[in-house]
């Protein structure tokens, strides 16, 4: 690993802490510092694990430039965010904007000042909601399927690719991410910043503090584990909405490869997600959770759609997969099993957060 002083913002969160621990394990010669304001409930549980691995924790906030004074940084992984697509709906968007947009600018300034390479975790939520929900689909027995022969560019049965149109509304959350991506591109162009943007679909796995508005896979397994009720909300209330997901271990393999071969990926934007073969509907997820936990829970049906919800999202990551030659290791069953075992092994710590 060419990078010796790595800063991970949001490094106590799900993605940040997993990347920090795995990078430290694979590259013990690199100094890893994580910064986090511990806003996300459950992030505090990472601190013990980070410390035990020899990773330095700084309690700081990316909204404050003063918190970002570091002596040396040669790689910045920007993983801090308000990651909920519902953020700002029915309330002030201030925290969302100040963290996801202004905070990202502050992080980019750190990278510029130190001449550090940077990797920005963006989201599939940059793609406009009305275009996605307007795609041709079929309703199958347990899920909605995207059809081939779409008129919208970048859409096929393989999912949504990078050339999908971007000119309509996408949620306040998605907009903070797209606006940040645009500023990253300007820093690359104007200052010669080395940067990669990864637009991720749903990421999941152990140490995600799943809640109703973010982290649905973990939430679903946890509610089964703790025998609590759930609801299928929207699109007829039958749980046919589909998402693809990528296991955090597979995302790490992708990011590690990008970091080790930075110049090959530099200045580019990649969709990174599980794809059609790693997609499930809520109904299908329920069956996997029942199998893993041995529990069946009550699931209510709410027909009305929820704001910002999508009938389906499948990430078409062909650009990244062809360039990298990677394929994903963890399918839906394995992923649910990993989450189940993590909850079982850490039940006392996780119950107050996930139940
Ligand atoms: N998890 C997913 O499914 C997913 C999908 C696509 C993109 N992403 C992106 O990946 C990144 C990581 O998401 P995650 O799933 O780990 O979320 P997370 O909530 O688990 O982690 C984010 C961390 O950022 C911290 N944070 C929030 N505001 C901060 C601030 N102002 N200053 C410093 N720290 C702050 C939180 O305390 C938390 O620990 C985010 O940028 C998110 O938008 C996540």
Which residue among 80, 172, 254 is best mutated to probe the pocket of ligand 1, counting the most ligand atoms within 8 A of its Cβ? Answer: 80
Q: Is 43 in the pocket of ligand 1 (CB under 6 A)?
A: yes
Q: Is 62 in the pocket of ligand 1 (CB under 6 A)?
A: yes
Short-list 286, 117, 260, 141, CA closest to 194: 117
Q: Is 244 in the pocket of ligand 1 (CB under 6 A)?
A: no
Question: How do residues 249-278 score in pLDDT, each as one tens digit?
Answer: 999 999 999 999 999 999 999 999 999 999
Residue 54, C-beta contacts closer than 8 angstroms, at least 6 positions apart: 24, 28
Residue 90, C-beta contacts closer than 8 angstroms, at least 6 positions apart: none
Q: What is the pLDDT of residue 102?
A: 97
Low-confidence ranges of the chain (pLDDT < 70): none
37-52 in b/e burial notation, b at 16+ Cβ within 10 A? bbebebbebbbeebee
To the nearest 10°, the Cα dihedral for 4, 204, 183, 86?
Answer: -140
Q: What is the pLDDT of residue 27?
A: 98
DSSP 8-class letter at 315: B
Q: What is the pLDDT of residue 307?
A: 87
CA dist 166 and 162 (Å) reads: 10
pTM above 0.85, yes or no: yes
The rounded Å distance from CA 295 to ligand 1 centre is 30
The rounded Å distance from CA 78 to ligand 1 centre is 9
Q: What is the pLDDT of residue 302?
A: 96
Which residue among 9, 11, 14 is best mutated to probe the pocket of ligand 1, counting the most ligand atoms within 8 A of its Cβ? Answer: 14
Q: What is the pLDDT of residue 316?
A: 98
Q: What is the pLDDT of residue 1?
A: 86
């Amino acid at each position: 690993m060419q990078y010796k002083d790595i800063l991970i913002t949001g490094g106590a969160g799900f993605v940040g802490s997993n990347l920090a621990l795995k990078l430290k394990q694979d590259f013990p010669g690199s100094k890893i510092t994580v910064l986090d304001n511990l806003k996300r409930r459950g992030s505090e549980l990472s601190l013990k694990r980070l410390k035990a691995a020899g990773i330095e924790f700084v309690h700081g906030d990316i909204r404050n430039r003063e918190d970002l004074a570091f002596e040396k940084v040669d790689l910045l992984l920007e993983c801090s965010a308000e990651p909920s697509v519902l953020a700002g709906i029915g309330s002030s968007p201030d925290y969302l904007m100040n963290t996801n947009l202004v905070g990202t600018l502050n992080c980019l300034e750190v990278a510029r000042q130190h001449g550090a390479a940077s990797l920005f975790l963006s989201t599939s939520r940059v793609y406009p909601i009305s275009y996605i929900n307007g795609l041709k689909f079929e309703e199958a027995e347990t899920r909605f399927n995207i059809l081939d022969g779409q008129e919208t560019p970048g859409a096929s049965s393989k999912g949504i690719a990078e050339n999908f149109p971007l000119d309509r509304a996408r949620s306040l959350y998605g907009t903070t991410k797209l606006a940040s991506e645009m500023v990253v591109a300007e820093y690359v162009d104007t200052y010669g910043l080395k940067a990669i943007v990864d637009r991720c679909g749903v990421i999941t796995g152990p140490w995600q503090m799943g809640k109703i508005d973010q982290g649905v896979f973990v939430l679903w397994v946890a509610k089964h584990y703790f025998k609590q009720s759930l609801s299928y909300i929207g699109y007829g209330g039958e749980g046919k909405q589909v998402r693809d997901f990528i296991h955090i271990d597979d995302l790490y393999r992708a990011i590690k490869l990008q970091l080790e071969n930075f110049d090959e990926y530099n200045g580019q934007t990649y969709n990174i997600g599980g794809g059609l073969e790693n997609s499930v509907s809520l109904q299908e997820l329920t069956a996997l959770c029942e199998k893993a936990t041995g529990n069946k829970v009550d699931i209510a049906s709410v027909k009305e759609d929820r704001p910002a919800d999508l009938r389906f999202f499948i990430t078409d990551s062909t650009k990244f997969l062809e360039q990298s030659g990677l394929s994903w290791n963890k399918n839906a069953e394995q992923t649910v099993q990993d989450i189940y075992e993590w909850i079982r092994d850490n039940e006392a710590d996780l119950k107050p957060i996930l139940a």
